[in-house]
Structure formats: structure tokens, C-alpha cells
Chains A and B, each alone.
Chain A
Amino acid sequence: GENVEQHPSTLSVQEGDSAVIKCTYSDSASNYFPWYKQELGKRPQLIIDIRSNVGEKKDQRIAVTLNKTAKHFSLHITETQPEDSAVYFCAATAFSGGYQKVTFGTGTKLQVIP
């Protein structure tokens, strides 16, 4: 089955600096990679996603890159702000014969220090 590894588990950055979170996956059939942000006590919310036919996607201060050959994808947050502090989860979704399998990473706790 799919195995998704996420690093680092915790990350502290100064406000204004960039943050990078990396995930690797094992199943070459995975072709959809969403990123979720979960603030303390709240539900996960999608912040950006990328499909396997695209190498990079950007939305304001957030970008995601995908390297299918190496089976890794990364979340980049630029000009971090205190409200970016949260736990971030990556996920890899594989579709096979009408079946779907979604596997989440273990999460990265990001702390932005004012």
C-alpha cells in the first residue's frame, strides 16, 4: 500500500521567513496531492492541491511542487505570518479501477514566531 512520509514534524520560523514542508510517497499510481491546514481545535481545510500532470502550482504566498520521478512533493509558504501557525498535512491519492486510496502524512506543526 501507499506510504507517505512527511518532514519535518515541527518547524519554527521567524515571521517573514519562508517555510518548506516535504512529503514523499511510494505508490506511483498516486496522482492527486492535496495539502491541508488544521488550526488547533478546528477541522482540516484544503489550502492547495496539485495533480500529477502539473509540476508546480502557486496561490499567493503558497506554492506546491511535485516531482513524480522522485515521488516527492513540497509545500512552500513565503512571507510567513503568525496566522500561518497550524499543523499541515500532505496527502497522496491513488485511483485504481474505480477505487480510491488516500493516505495522509503524519503532519507538520508550523510555528511562526512574531
Chain B
Amino acid sequence: GAGVSQSPSNKVTEKGKDVELRCDPISGHTALYWYRQSLGQGLEFLIYFQGNSAPDKSGLPSDRFSAERTGGSVSTLTIQRTQQEDSAVYLCASSLGLAGTQYFGPGTRLLVL
């Protein structure tokens, strides 16, 4: 079936604006993850969902970041009052369950001017 999809693929915004990033996991995958990857850097874990629940939000960089998942499927990552340091690729992944293989989406490239 279809893999993990993310939208938009690219987003340019002005400092101070809010942005919303979307992730469509593989159908049937109960676990969903959000990561951030700055240019040339490693993967920074942000948050994961098991179903619609996010047991651990400690990875979110600040209270400007929030995420939700509804219907055990689509997830949105919202960044309020964006800052230039938020510029990065935001990757989403899903897995059949906890400890399952994570399949990554193509990412959303966010540029905050």
C-alpha cells in the first residue's frame, strides 16, 4: 500500500507566523513519530503517538510546539510564532506498533525567514 505521506513538502514562512504540518501514516499503523532534522544533523525525536495518545511530550523543543492525532490516523504538528531556529526538515514515521519498524515519510522542509 501507500507509504507515509507528509504535506506540505516545503513551507516558507515569516518569523512569528504559525505553521501546521501534516502526516498521513501507513494505514493500520498505530504508532506515529515526529522528528526534526536540521541541515547536516542527526534526527531529533520530538513526540510519538500510540493511537491518539502522546505519552511523552518531553521531546518537544518549547511550548510553541504541539501535536495531535485524531482517529488513530492523521497527525498534525503545529508550530506557533515560528522562529528562524525552527527551520529544519520535519520527518514523520509510523510503525505497526511499538518496537515495530519505523517507516519514514519524505519530510516537510520548513524555512522561517
A95, B42: Cα distance in complex, Å: 22
Q: How large is the interface on B (under 10, 10 to 19, 20 to 34, 35 or more residues)?
A: 20 to 34
Q: Which of A34, A99, A101, A107 makes the CB contact (< 8 A) with B102?
A: A34
| Contact mask for chain A residues 87-100; partner B; CB cutoff 8 A; 1 contact, 0 none | 00101010100111
* A46 engages B102 (CB within 8 Å): yes
Please name the residue on chain B nearest to A97 by beta carbon.
Answer: B55
Q: A43-B106, A99-B56, A100-B48 are in contact. Are A89 and B99 (CB under 8 A)?
A: no
Q: For residues 17 through 61 of chain B, which have their beta carbon under 8 Å from a beta carbon of chain A?
A: 31, 33, 35, 41-45, 48, 50, 55-56
Show 5 A/B contacts (Cβ-Cβ < 8 Å), sorted by A: A32-B99, A43-B105, A93-B99, A100-B50, A105-B42
Q: For residues 71 through 113 of chain B, which have their beta carbon under 8 Å from a beta carbon of chain A?
A: 91, 98-99, 101-107
Q: Which of B48, B91, B99 makes the CB contact (< 8 A) with A44?
A: B91
A2, B99: Cα distance in complex, Å: 16
A25 within 8 A of B: no
Q: Which of A43, A89, A99, A107 makes the CB contact (< 8 A) with B55?
A: A99
Find chain A residues with CB under 8 A from B102 CB.
34, 46
A101, B43: Cα distance in complex, Å: 13
Please name the residue on chain A nearest to B31 by beta carbon.
Answer: A100
